Amino acid sequence: MLSTLSPSHSRFSQEVPALRRRIPYSNYAPATVSSHAHPSIDIHISRNTWTGPRGYGGRHRLDEAPFSLWDDAQGDFRLPTPSEKSWLVTRYSATAIDFQFPMMVIETANPPEPLPLTVAAIAAKFLPPPSVPVDRNANGIRLEPLDDARPIKFSTNYAGMRGPKDPLQFTFRKWIQPTDKELRLLVNALSRFCNPRLVHIL
């Protein structure tokens, strides 16, 4: 009988399979618990979850794509070739695929289990097609998803000819996290004409 479990040996949480069945479009991998109370024979040996570079271009261990849509030489994402797009549609039975870099949104009635966090080295979000029946609670009220990555179908470019003048005198670098100084300048500039509670940089 095992008396302890090392950090590399932990038992699966018994609640994870039920969560995966109930909420198939959310990821709970590898979702293990380290418990010393009741060792079990269903021991999980942890392994590396990520491969490749740190940051963009990294690949989740469940990412099966035989190609990457991150171009390391250009330091940018690229769209898939026709054969790569065909692979994505076939592999995930996709009814739609949308590229909202740095994320790929895949609509499918049959999400993989467990879900990969990346597909072709891009952060992936799986959604049910709009025609898939929605979840309802015991009273029959529709349960809205916690988040929805479907694209906004109208322009959100407010700073420009029709909107307020761009308050910043500099441009953020593509795919590079702004510095603390740049974020302070952004919040100060926004505070001149609105009351920002949260600024999300994507």
Q: Where are the domains of the chain?
A: 1-47, 48-131, 165-202
Q: Consecutive 10-residue runs of the chain (202 residues): their mean pLDDT?
A: 41 65 67 43 59 86 94 91 94 91 90 91 89 68 59 52 73 87 90 83 71
Burial class (CB in 10 A: 0-12, 13-18, 19+), 124: buried
- Which segments within 19-148 are labelled E, that is strand? 32-33, 43-45, 50-51, 59-60, 70-71, 76-77, 94-100, 103-108, 118-119, 122-127
Q: CA-to-CA distance for 150 and 126, rounded, in angstroms?
A: 10
Residue with tokens 């289990």, as numbered in its chain: 113
Structural tokens at position 28 = 């709970």
Measured CA to CA in angstroms, residue 15 lies from 12, 18, 20, 46 at distances of 9, 5, 9, 18
Q: CA-to-CA distance for 31 and 102, rounded, in angstroms?
A: 24
Predicted local confidence at residue 128, as pLDDT: 87
Measured CA to CA in angstroms, residue 150 lies from 71, 84, 103 at distances of 24, 21, 11
Predicted local confidence at residue 8, as pLDDT: 43
Predicted local confidence at residue 60, as pLDDT: 92
Q: What does residue 188 show for φ and ψ, rounded to 5 degrees?
A: -60, -40
The SS3 call for residue 150 is: coil
Identify which of 31, 32, 39 has the alpha carbon closest to the alpha carbon of residue 4: 39
Predicted local confidence at residue 49, as pLDDT: 86
Measured CA to CA in angstroms, residue 125 lies from 99, 102, 119, 138, 194 at distances of 10, 11, 9, 27, 32
Identify which of 96, 109, 114, 88 has the alpha carbon closest to the alpha carbon of residue 20: 114
Helices and strands, counts by H and E, the chain? 3, 11
